[in-house]
Amino acid sequence: MIPLKIKINNKVINLRKLAQDLARDVLASAMAKVAAIMRDLMATYAPVRDVRYWSPSDRVPPGALARSIAFKIVVNLQTGRVMAIVGPRRRAPGLPTHYAHLVEFGHILVVTDHHGGKRAAGYVAANPFVRPAVEAFKSGVLEVFGAEVANNLRVKIEAMMGGSMTEVQV
């Protein structure tokens, strides 16, 4: 196996470790910045029920969907791939689960009649919040990600080399 080490300014750098560090630190933090912006946009677009029409017996309190939106960053150190998962949490504390898709795409309204049977009583219209957030941020995502990668890469290289750099081009 060929050693993957280089020496710059009397510092030995393990290239395999450098790739893992870059994926974990540089790309993951840039992806977290993008994911945080997307999370905030989705929360902004998420519908909030008017408090006047809510009662404590309702299963979902007003603003629950917006409060449940979060993100998670997944880093594969072997491949260097970084992925962000943004959306409503399935197990948000104190909130019902698995209903965001019903809000996003609409659903059939099911009611229980006086005999205990269930029947379709109409259709609840879609109230999308994910698609409008994606459309709003689609044009700026590469700008934000690229700027964050360049900044994080500069900081990482400066820390490795023990000096300052004036410019990093990505």
**79-88: pLDDT as tens digits:** 778 899 998 8
Per-residue pLDDT of 14-29, as tens digits, reads: 666 776 777 678 888 8
Q: What is the pLDDT of residue 132?
A: 92
Chain centre distance of CA 49? 24
pTM of the model: 0.73
Residue type, 169: Q
Per-residue pLDDT of 65-106, as tens digits, reads: 888 889 999 988 777 788 999 988 876 666 666 778 888 898
Q: Smallest Cα–Cα separation from 86: which of 130, 127, 128?
A: 130
Q: Are 137 and 37 in contact (CB under 8 A)?
A: yes
Q: What is the pLDDT of residue 26?
A: 84
Q: Are 24 and 79 in contact (CB under 8 A)?
A: no
Residue 35 has pLDDT above 90, yes or no: yes
